[in-house]
Structure 1
Amino acid sequence: MKKALFILLLAAATGCHKKSEFVAPEGDRVAVEFVLPGVFASAKPASRADAPAAEELAVGTTVRVLAFQRAAGAVSADITADKFVAEATYVVVENTKDDGTKVRVLEACNVNPATGAVDNANTADPAQIRLRADKYDFYALTPATAIASPWEVSVNHGVDHASCVVTDVAIAPNTSRPDPYKQEVDLGMLMRKCAKVSFVFKRKSESSSIKKIEIKKVKLSKIAHSPATAKLCEALSIGANDGSYDGFPVGVYTFPDTGDPTTFACFDEVLPKSSASYQLEVTANFNDSKDDTDLTPASITTDKAEYQDVLAFQPNKHYIFTITLKGNSFTLTLDVGDWNLADDWDNSSVGGWPEASVEVGQWDVVESWDTDMGGNTFPTIGVGDWTSSFNWNLDLGVE
């Protein structure tokens, strides 16, 4: 069953840059303002048939909205042929209601056109969308980077790009509204165009001598070339798998003798790629050793034709690589599921159910013990041979 994640975006007359005031008529122009209720996420395993639950967009997320009018005689939206009319940019903020509850809304803002990030140095009043009475097509994209004719986006690895279009929206003054010259517009759902890739590092109890793992580098290569382009709201182009990305967050895992381990969020967005073998490289340091350990499998691949989809990065999907140190081996596993699939889905009550759970392979562990100047002993961890798993067809659970 194909699943997708969408970002739901509505327009309303709250959450503006300035306090809402009556807007004097300018001919028959109507001010259109936007807020958002949340992000759609798949149901957890126990209720897969249920409607998706909603998650909120993160505070600081920016959105650009553009209004178009159809070309003369056109019966459907065509952004390359239609007439651009207006645009405005917004940021997600969290407000406190009179009853003390928190609500996230879109607030008009100025952005850096290259990155889409909020431009706090720009003190000019943000643009508004004010339209004459007529029908319009509205496009939205996040982040709120600049876009111009021929209305193509250019997206790099590390960008959570999503977009949507809603068509045939009638804009007109309406005396039945509290403010007849302000109007709500439902923009529908923004659909993500990239994949999410996470890396998780674990240590089993038989490797209790390992108290600290510092992740210094994570890199994927033989993946999609960056940037990828597409007409707004269409799928990003998938070219040759001659690209690489090493912008994943790095940090430290600790495993205390008592209490829970500390972790960090090691994930990022990557462009969609076609089904083909690709490369993973990880540099880690164990217990502040003087030597780093390089974990580089020969290749992420399988020769099973029926499982080639696992080698592709598909939009809205979450790919979780888990490296587990257990005794005399490192095991590399790959779980694939919906965007909100939890990193530790098998021990979590949230997140989707994996469509695939694959043991990719393992490295032999080479462990030796050194004594530092203070007389403390610690293991030096190295890796030996890499062995690819032959169990892809046994572990895979594609729906």
Structure 2
Amino acid sequence: MNYKGMIKYLPAVLLLCACTENELLLREREQQFAVRFSASGVCTEVATRTASPLADGTMLRILAFRRVGESPDLSTDKYMGEGTYKAINGDGTLAAVSSLLLRTGAYDFYALTPDLAVADAGRSGAGVTCAVSVGHGVDYATSLTPGQTVSETSPAVALHDLNRHCTKLIFALQPKAGNITSVSVESAGLTNMTQAPVTASLHSALPVAGVAQTDVLTIAGDKFSTPDADKKTSASAVTLPREAGEFRFKMKAAFNGKAAAEFVADMPETLAFAAGTQYTFTLKMKGGSVRLILEVLPWGESVMSGQDNIGAFTPVTIHIGTWEHVEIPGETDGGNTAVGTGQWVPNPELDAEIGAFGLTSVGGEDLPWASEQGVPGETGGGNTEVGSGDVWGTEDVPADTGDGKTNPNPDVV
């Protein structure tokens, strides 16, 4: 065999192969194009009507999968790539931060906000596929837009509405006593919250069943809104859903410049926090008593002010209990510096009312509005401080929280 002759032509063969490979890679790259996206907004899964636009600056991560079977299945479908996008203009426009590049074909598009990392997106098998880790303070919402065909000449995709998977809590103080001239909330919160973080497969409900309830939610006083003319003030928090179980309410507040007093009460063990739902705990003061009232609504919905308010929801309103014989010194009571919180008396019909209104389920399937078609909401909000002994940061999507405050970077103590 003439090896010398073969060696003579080897450089030319290698050059030809290299050129051919480069041309193939070039053609491969030329076939890819940037997909464009828009998003109508975010809403609640149990009551979807008209989604509110995403707040400007909201970040999304969008992943593309090529389907293997007849229906979407993240455990078997082929991961094709992902990109990150930011909401602008308040009209559903998404600007690419890192573009998703694809070739012509049909894809299933998964979107999540905020743009949390998705682990094992390109791998199938045992365990959680496309795992997302979610903690307190994160307004986590997702959507699936299936079977979308895109090409270089038709690269636009309108994403389906995103559904929320967390819970919103609001804490409010409404003084009514005539001798109250000033109020200042120092802190408010709940004990025995779901231990964070939890890990879920992308676009699935957060698996809080059986998770330990050891975290403590604390909202610092500086997160509360400035008291209005009626001295009302409030703050909000985004938390993981929570199964029913024992927990405690706490609010520490100062009145008339006196030393702060802490109102503490055991909460009903039958109450759960459902995804996509907001719960408002309000201290309503009247005379020598302070009532703790719970109002439950789909996240972001305003309270109905009259029976003719088309599109509004009547909240589930429950009287949790009352602190009786509360004593609040006036500004002129020089010798009285402490507020007497009196005696806590729970509502004896509490568990029956919670059960009747369907407030015992994390999924919210039995809530009064679960069968209705929709409620608007705004992504974000959450003046949240949640801890279980350690200190960690929280990630939140800033938007109107309903109490006039935004908090893109809540501190954790």
TM-score by length of 1: 0.71
Match status 1:191 vs 2:191: no
Please give the alpha-carbon distance, in whole angstroms, between the structure 2 residues aligned to 1:255 and 1:211: 11
Could you tell me which amino acid in structure 2 is paired with residue 193 of structure 1? Answer: H
Contact 1:319–1:336 at 8 Å: present in 2 too? yes
Please give the alpha-carbon distance, in whole angstroms, between the structure 2 residues aligned to 1:360 and 1:271: 22
Contact 2:42–2:164 at 8 Å: present in 1 too? no
Deviation per CA, 1:325-376: give whole Å up to 9, x if none. Answer: 111111001111211233x65589698424521100011244254767xx98
Please give the alpha-carbon distance, in whole angstroms, between the structure 2 residues aligned to 1:253 and 1:139: 36
Q: Indicate the residue corresponding to 1:229 in structure 2.
A: 199
Once the two structures are TM-superposed, the CA of residue 93 in structure 1 deviates from its matched residue by: 2.1
Q: Indicate the residue corresponding to 1:282 in structure 2.
A: 251
Deviates more, 1:78-87 or 1:25-34: 25-34
Distance 1:369 1:190, change over 3 A: closer
Please give the alpha-carbon distance, in whole angstroms, between the structure 2 residues aligned to 1:144 and 1:253: 28
Match status 1:168 vs 2:165: no
* Mapping 1:16-35, distance limit 5 Å: 26-35=29-38
Please point out which of 65, 68, 82 is paired with 1:68.
Answer: 65
Contact 1:214–1:285 at 8 Å: present in 2 too? yes
User: Unaligned regions of 5+ residues in structure 1, if any?
Assistant: 1-23, 43-47, 95-101, 110-126, 174-179, 303-307
Please point out which of 343, 351, 364 is paired with 1:385.
Answer: 343
Distance 1:215 1:225, change over 3 A: same
Please point out which of 110, 119, 129 is paired with 1:148.
Answer: 119
Please point out which of 96, 105, 113 is paired with 1:134.
Answer: 105
Contact 1:287–1:378 at 8 Å: present in 2 too? no
What secondary structure does 1:331 align onto?
strand
Once the two structures are TM-superposed, the CA of residue 75 in structure 1 deviates from its matched residue by: 2.7
What secondary structure does 1:81 align onto?
coil
Q: Indicate the residue corresponding to 2:279 in structure 1.
A: 319
What secondary structure does 1:170 align onto?
strand
Please give the alpha-carbon distance, in whole angstroms, between the structure 1 residues aligned to 2:190 and 2:328: 29
Distance 1:371 1:329, change over 3 A: closer
Once the two structures are TM-superposed, the CA of residue 265 in structure 1 deviates from its matched residue by: 4.7
Match status 1:339 vs 2:309: no
Please point out which of 320, 323, 347 is paired with 1:360.
Answer: 320
Once the two structures are TM-superposed, the CA of residue 234 in structure 1 deviates from its matched residue by: 0.6
Q: Indicate the residue corresponding to 1:86 in structure 2.
A: 81
What secondary structure does 2:342 align onto?
strand
* Mapping 1:198-213, distance limit 5 Å: 198-204=170-176, 207-213=177-183
Computing the radius of gyration from Cα coordinates, the structure with the larger value is: 2
Q: Indicate the residue corresponding to 2:242 in structure 1.
A: 273
What secondary structure does 1:91 align onto?
strand
Please give the alpha-carbon distance, in whole angstroms, between the structure 1 residues aligned to 2:287 and 2:344: 15
Q: Indicate the residue corresponding to 2:401 in structure 1.
A: none
Distance 1:254 1:107, change over 3 A: closer
Larger relative CO (CA 8 A, sep 6+): 1 or 2? 2
Once the two structures are TM-superposed, the CA of residue 267 in structure 1 deviates from its matched residue by: 1.0
Distance 1:233 1:192, change over 3 A: same
Deviation per CA, 1:32-83: give whole Å up to 9, x if none. Answer: 11122333479xxxxx9xx823422222211110112234xx3332223332
User: Unaligned regions of 5+ residues in structure 2, if any?
Assistant: 1-26, 121-128, 359-367, 369-413
Once the two structures are TM-superposed, the CA of residue 193 in structure 1 deviates from its matched residue by: 0.5
Contact 2:173–2:233 at 8 Å: present in 1 too? no
Could you tell me which amino acid in structure 2 is paired with residue 84 of structure 1? Answer: Y
Contact 1:158–1:247 at 8 Å: present in 2 too? no
What secondary structure does 1:382 align onto?
coil
Once the two structures are TM-superposed, the CA of residue 131 in structure 1 deviates from its matched residue by: 0.9
Please give the alpha-carbon distance, in whole angstroms, between the structure 2 residues aligned to 1:41 and 1:79: 23
Distance 1:139 1:103, change over 3 A: closer
Please give the alpha-carbon distance, in whole angstroms, between the structure 1 residues aligned to 2:33 and 2:141: 27
What secondary structure does 1:146 align onto?
coil
Q: Indicate the residue corresponding to 2:290 in structure 1.
A: 330
Once the two structures are TM-superposed, the CA of residue 196 in structure 1 deviates from its matched residue by: 1.1
Could you tell me which amino acid in structure 2 is paired with residue 236 of structure 1? Answer: L
Identity %: 28
Distance 1:346 1:278, change over 3 A: farther
Distance 1:394 1:171, change over 3 A: closer
Contact 1:77–1:167 at 8 Å: present in 2 too? yes
Deviation per CA, 1:72-104: give whole Å up to 9, x if none. Answer: xx333222333222211112222xxxxxxx745
Q: Indicate the residue corresponding to 2:42 in structure 1.
A: 39
Q: Which has the higher helix share?
A: 2
Please give the alpha-carbon distance, in whole angstroms, between the structure 2 residues aligned to 1:167 and 1:368: 59
* Mapping 1:283-302, distance limit 5 Å: 283-289=252-258, 291-297=259-265, 299-301=266-268
Contact 1:337–1:356 at 8 Å: present in 2 too? yes
Once the two structures are TM-superposed, the CA of residue 384 in structure 1 deviates from its matched residue by: 1.7
